[in-house]
Amino acid sequence: MPLILSIILISFVVAVALATIALTLGKKSLTDREKLTPFECGFSPNKKARAPFSLRFFMVTILFLIFDVEVALLLPLGILAKYSNPLMLTFTAATLTVVLILGLLHEWNQGALAWVS
């Protein structure tokens, strides 16, 4: 039992010592600020390197992913044509297509596809 306690104590001391050393030596100084600025052929940068995030690009990306998944659900229906009931296959394809078109019309109506406001 004393062996286990001594191993735990030594491990704790070593972990605290390493954390203290890392926090002490890892502090940023004011001279590191120059290293964090973008490098443009030795000149000062003309504009900020981290431009604000465009919500329009994000919305277009999300819409693309949603509609891409819908199309990916439609594609295997052609392969399933010879193995499935034609009525059920037609119903499934029509349902997916209607959902896709309704989603597109909704996004168009909400103005998510209008680039210029």
Q: Where are the domains of the chain?
A: 2-36, 55-110
The predicted-structure confidence for 30-52, as pLDDT tens digits, reads as follows 556 666 666 666 665 566 656 67
Give the pLDDT of residue 46.
61
Q: How far apart are CA 7 and CA 46, in angstroms?
A: 56
Q: What is the DSSP letter of 12?
A: H
Of the chain, the percentage scoring pLDDT greater than 70 comes to 75
The predicted-structure confidence for 59-107, as pLDDT tens digits, reads as follows 788 888 888 888 888 888 888 888 888 898 889 889 988 988 898 888 8
67 close to 100: Cβ distance less than 8 angstroms = yes
Could you tell me the pTM of the whole model?
Answer: 0.47
Element counts in the chain: helices (H) and strands (E): 4, 0
